[in-house]
Amino acid sequence: MIIVQISDLHVGSQFLQEKFDILVDEINELNPDAIIITGDLTNEGLMKEYKKCRTLLTKFNTKKIFTVSGNHDYRNTGYLLFKKFFPFEAINELDEKIVLVTLGTARPDRNEGEVGYRQNLWLERTMKKYKDRIKILAMHHHLVAIPDTGSDQLTVVDAGDVLRTIMDTNVDLVLCGHKHRPWIWNFGKPMVVNAGTAASERVRGMFENTYNIISIQDKNIQVDLKIVGGKRLPLDEIVSNYSQYGEE
């Protein structure tokens, strides 16, 4: 199975249409089984941004597109529009072996993320039902601090509780966005994968627009970074060659 993770499109004042057009061509050539968008589809949560974004997403040729709301989507009561334009199910069985669960970490007019006691309890109960599946969790805010992103006050405020749940229920892969910095913390189980921004001018770390390509075969998970219009490489290389990429 091939899953593409894109994040932080920021349709609005930060949006780069030319990058998005290249992104569409590249992803359609991959013919992925699913696309997961981990938040900040819009920049200000405005009606015109939601309308444009919904139209843009129709350009992807895939059967399944899953969306998670970000803090920018929740601005200006945009959380009401997100439910209208991008209705979603929190539990998605991608096939008989893989399940995708999404969490809402965005809160109205707040930049930091929060899962909350009730949602965390729901996550624990849900993941325990899928003992024999590969379990993927997708959210907007990052759970673990990322290099090159400065003072880390905008992560999930109750990250410790969520990490405990993830470890206790053997989640395989966690997908996050928010910081516009591609990175991976490979703990074996789970792998915590962060996506860069796919089509915003506000890039960090790699200084390129990027997205992630996730290949799953049997129980093996491989995550590659793809630069929009550029090369593809294992995301682990960003970590192992950290100084090199920092100097570039």
pLDDT at 181: 94
What CA–CA distance (Å, rounded) separates 26 from 196? 16
Q: Are strands 65-68 and 91-93 parallel, antiparallel or unpaired?
A: unpaired
CB-based contact 141:180 (threshold 8 Å): no
Ranges assigned E (strand) in 139-227: 173-176, 183-186, 191-194, 210-217, 220-227
How do the pLDDT tens digits run along the chain, 248 residues long? 999 999 999 999 999 999 999 999 999 999 999 999 999 999 999 999 999 999 999 999 998 999 999 999 999 999 999 999 999 899 999 999 999 999 999 999 888 999 999 999 999 999 999 988 999 999 999 999 888 887 656 678 999 999 999 999 999 999 999 999 999 999 888 999 999 999 999 998 888 999 999 999 988 999 999 999 999 999 999 888 875 554 54
Structural domains of the chain, with CATH = 2-247 (3.60.21.10)
pLDDT at 125: 97
pLDDT at 25: 98
pLDDT at 209: 98
Q: Tell me which H or E stretch contains 177.
A: none
Ranges assigned E (strand) in 22-133: 34-38, 65-68, 91-93, 98-102
- Helix (H, G, I), strand (E, B), or coil: what is residue 48? helix
Q: What share of the chain is helix, strand, coil (3-state, %, to 5)?
A: 30, 25, 45
What CA–CA distance (Å, rounded) separates 63 from 60? 9
Token pair recorded at residue 88 = 């979603």
pLDDT at 221: 96
- Helix (H, G, I), strand (E, B), or coil: what is residue 80? helix
What CA–CA distance (Å, rounded) separates 194 from 210? 11
pLDDT at 223: 98
pLDDT at 152: 58
Q: Which residue has the tokens 């974004």?
A: 53
CB-based contact 35:4 (threshold 8 Å): yes
Q: What is the DSSP string of 110-152?
A: BSSB---HHHHHHHHHHHHT-TTSEEEEE-SS-SS--TTS-S-
